[in-house]
Structure 1
Amino acid sequence: MKKLVYILSFLLVSSLAFAQPATQMIKVMVAPDHEDWTYKIGEKVTFSVTVLKWGNPLKNTKITYQIGPERFETKKDSAVLKDGVIKLDGGTMTTSGFLRCTVIAKVDGKEYRNLATAAFEPEKIQPAVEMPSDFNEFWNKAKANLAKVPMDAKMTLLPERCTETVNVYHLNLQNYKEGGTTRLYGILCVPKKEGKYPALLRVPGAGVRPYAGDVRTAEKGVITLEIGIHGVPVTMDLGVYTDLGAAALSGYWAYNLDNRDQYYYKKVFMGCVRANDFLVSLPQFDGTNLAVAGGSQGGALSIITAALDSRVKWAAPTYPAMSDMVGYLKGRAGGWPHIFDKNNPHHNTEAKIKTAAYYDVVNFAKNLKVPCIYSMGFNDETCPPTSMWAAYNSISSPKELKLYQETGHWTFPEENEVIQNWLLDKLIKK
């Protein structure tokens, strides 16, 4: 029973970032009039809106709507859907990007919301961020400093999480930070059967939480390591992480943003490399096959880790955050954590803009040399598609793009299956 409680609670926490929105009684359906939601620059888009109850159009429903570039919606209006259906003139775009229609229907005093986003030649989107002249030098120096820090690995078996075929450990490593050391924690899953195995590093989405580890993939014959980034154990009670997220780690993504050497994410990026140091040191590792995968912040870390560490052979980023973050300063949507949007004028300083360029996914994407599978949707309000395309268009290595236009900051089960099968196909040679 104790083991079952552990599994259920951790699966719940770890699935939140990828879960589909809950189904509601009233459904607001919004869609552009092109099947693939994609248009030529200057081509007009029409958005169809349908409000459903029990699967049928709900008559005389009042809606309010906004239409405009993502995160810059400009046209605001309202309408009554006499027959539960309406078509809205969305206009067009004169540059590559994304045009979004957001609709709110009010039924019996409750609001129901949905949106759809039309793409205008997104393959032409170019990043706003520029690569610093000493970008590679900066990160090579950071890796050299990390290499001087002993790994000091500590593995604690978690019997309640082990299965018949997999041993599960709480892993504790020493990591580098400017002016000292910190610790890196994660959940390591190793096949019990004697042999040599490929390895997969799973990097986390934003937030502060415990982790369950990727036991399922380990049962298929892959060593897996799921890490946290905050230098705290990842097996504590959920309430501990809630408190940390509300206090000491609140807004961690902006800590020391005015100093490229002390910015919070420097130890995070080095922690991902340190995690790989450990994986390749394992006697069970096959010596060759190493991949990295994650979504949102983890999507960013997937690209960054693969670009920083030549030992990585494949990357699977899903809706990557931290992409083209200064887009807002050029009048378009930038990537999470939206440091430079209109709500954060205090971040718009020369020092912070300069630091952000060293940590922007776009600049790592330019250095990516390994194959990747890149997955995203058009309706993502957390990681705007403009920012994600700026990173995708910067990748010159072999890449596969999997579009799920309707998705926001979540994934379909079918999407997860495609990504998982791609990883297994690369890691486990048939």
Structure 2
Amino acid sequence: MKRHVLLSVAAILLLSRPAWAAPAATAPATQAQSAPAESVQVRFDAWPKDHLFETDALELPTRLVNRSDRPLRGSVRITLAEYRPNEDGATIETRQQEVAPPAGASVDVPATFRPKQPGPYEFRLELTAGGTVVRRIETALLYQPSRWTLPDLEPKDFDEFWARTLAEMRKSPLDAKYSEPKDRRLIPEPFREVSFNGLGGRRIRGYLGIPPGLRAGQKAPAILSLPSAGYHSAAVQASALERGYVFMAISIHDLPFGGESGRTHPREHWFAEEYQGIGRQDKETYYYRAAYAAGPRAVDFLRSLPEVDPARIVVTGFSQGGSLALATAGLVRDVALAEASIAGRSRMDLLTFAYKANMTLAPPPGMTAREMFEKTLAYYDVSYFARRIRCPIVMRISLDDPINPGPLQYWAFTRIAHSSDARAIVAPWLKHRSPPDSQGVVEAMRRKYVTGDAATRPAK
């Protein structure tokens, strides 16, 4: 069962003068008599808070509120455009209206569109005063998302590839090794550094904490935290131990820890090539093969610990970590709960151009972007892992994320078909941040599916 959780994300934008706007001293005299742009609010109160529209007509009304003691004279242009991640999509339709709200008053600006296809679109609003565009607002929306479709490009041997990958990895024993953190000022007690065997001889490294008050014979629930992009492990959370969880934060890199946070890999160990693109010529050699396998292996490790209840493991992550959480839940289908925030790597056939600035996902010589997707990236696309998720799951989605495009985050959520409880917390305006006030939903899911009335319980 899927649910959308609506949060009270403010749908009010205060119009401030952008850096590129003409200075007030050089603006036409008529603008000096008008309300200043910074005193005008644009409100989206009539919109769904999550910007998901299931109606036949796409009603996009806005309200301009003049909070100054002078009238506002200008015009508003509203555009519906194609949605294209990280670039401007082509204009579909435009509406324009002159506005003149008196001081302290408001004016409604209606705009109705009837797109031909369900899916993501971009809304643009321009406020012009005195002949100058004083502010532009852009936001993504989804029109009839329940009817949105994309071509299915899942490889036929997707399951075989990952079953073979995990079987290959599990031929090696875990061979866990523990050590003290290099700097206890950065990594608190009782966390210890741990490493164990992953895929292809790579060690999975991270930090493990056991609740100090755990009694003999008790098995605690566990949280596996997967890392965002970069050269570090996920953050260590001592508060999880206080709530009775075993907590492990891992890195996907077999590199020594150090640096200012204690959980980063020092720069001298970074790879010459951006790791997101290493081995992208083939699914067998792609760097993320071992990275995606690290999540299931970390679950294996946690289940090997006498302090952990193997049936009560949570996998969680933000950004790249959210992608890894989806992959882990798709590969280990009996985890208790998955939490994926702002997950990227969804429908990478539509994304490859967005990464060309740092060449991490530009096709290698002799290969087109489509060939790279079909030969490699499709095997790592989280929307295909989402199809295989069986556990309860909560996804936090930022619809205006320019890094992991929000509509494609939502697409991955729509692929979840077999979870008994799949929830999406969707919010606009937040860029690459999780929806605020969403932790309460996450904690409620943990209480329902992981901890029950207490954080630990006697071993069976």
Q: Shorter-chain-normalised TM-score: which range?
A: 0.7 to 0.9
> Would you say 1:68 and 2:68 are equivalent positions?
no
The number of aligned residues is: 394
Q: Which moved more, 1:413-422 or 1:26-35?
A: 26-35
CA 41–221 in structure 1, closer or farther in 2 if over 3 Å, else same: same
TM-score after normalising by structure 1: 0.77
Q: How does 1:109-120 map to 2 (within 5 A)?
A: 114-120=137-143
Amino acid at match of 2:307: Q
State how far apart, in whole Å, the 2-side matches of 1:143 and 1:368 are: 17
CA 187–82 in structure 1, closer or farther in 2 if over 3 Å, else same: farther
Contact 1:156 1:170 in 2 (8 A): yes
* Corresponding residue SS for 2:427: coil
Q: Name the residue aligned to 2:48.
A: 35
Larger radius of gyration between Structure 1 and Structure 2: 2
Q: Name the residue aligned to 1:5.
A: none
CA 323–349 in structure 1, closer or farther in 2 if over 3 Å, else same: closer
> Would you say 1:173 and 2:196 are equivalent positions?
yes
Aligned pair partner of 2:282 in 253, 256, 259: 259
Q: Which moved more, 1:56-65 or 1:413-422?
A: 56-65
Q: Name the residue aligned to 1:12.
A: none
Q: Which moved more, 1:315-324 or 1:393-402?
A: 393-402
Aligned pair partner of 1:184 in 204, 211, 215: 204
Q: Name the residue aligned to 1:401.
A: 423
* Corresponding residue SS for 2:409: helix
Q: Which consecutive residues of structure 2, in runs of 5 or more, have no partner in the other structure?
A: 1-9, 17-37, 454-460
* Corresponding residue SS for 1:73: strand
State how far apart, in whole Å, the 2-side matches of 1:241 and 1:112 are: 42
> Would you say 1:98 and 2:120 are equivalent positions?
yes
Contact 2:15 2:135 in 1 (8 A): no
Contact 1:204 1:295 in 2 (8 A): yes
Q: How far did residue 361 of structure 1 move?
A: 1.0
TM-score after normalising by structure 2: 0.72
Contact 2:59 2:113 in 1 (8 A): yes
CA 369–235 in structure 1, closer or farther in 2 if over 3 Å, else same: same
Q: How far did residue 210 of structure 1 move?
A: 5.3
Q: Name the residue aligned to 2:109.
A: 87
Q: How far did residue 249 of structure 1 move?
A: 6.4
Q: How far did residue 382 of structure 1 move?
A: 2.6
> Would you say 1:144 and 2:167 are equivalent positions?
yes
CA 40–395 in structure 1, closer or farther in 2 if over 3 Å, else same: closer
Amino acid at match of 2:385: F
CA 168–378 in structure 1, closer or farther in 2 if over 3 Å, else same: same
Amino acid at match of 1:68: A
Aligned pair partner of 1:375 in 378, 384, 396: 396
Contact 1:130 1:363 in 2 (8 A): no
Contact 1:105 1:113 in 2 (8 A): yes
Higher share of residues assigned helix: 1
* Corresponding residue SS for 2:60: strand
Q: Which moved more, 1:311-320 or 1:110-119?
A: 110-119
Q: How far did residue 145 of structure 1 move?
A: 0.9
Aligned pair partner of 2:60 in 46, 56, 71: 46
Q: How far did residue 122 of structure 1 move?
A: 0.8
Q: How does 1:282-301 map to 2 (within 5 A)?
A: 282-301=305-324
Q: Which consecutive residues of structure 1, in runs of 5 or more, have no partner in the other structure?
A: 1-19, 329-333
Q: How far did residue 232 of structure 1 move?
A: 2.2
Deviations 1:197-242 (A, max 9, x none): 1111111222334543121112100111111222223442369758
Q: Which moved more, 1:136-145 or 1:411-420?
A: 411-420
State how far apart, in whole Å, the 2-side matches of 1:57 and 1:136 are: 65
Q: Name the residue aligned to 1:199.
A: 222
Deviations 1:280-322 (A, max 9, x none): 1112112321110112222211111011124422211223211
State how far apart, in whole Å, the 2-side matches of 1:56 and 1:384 are: 40
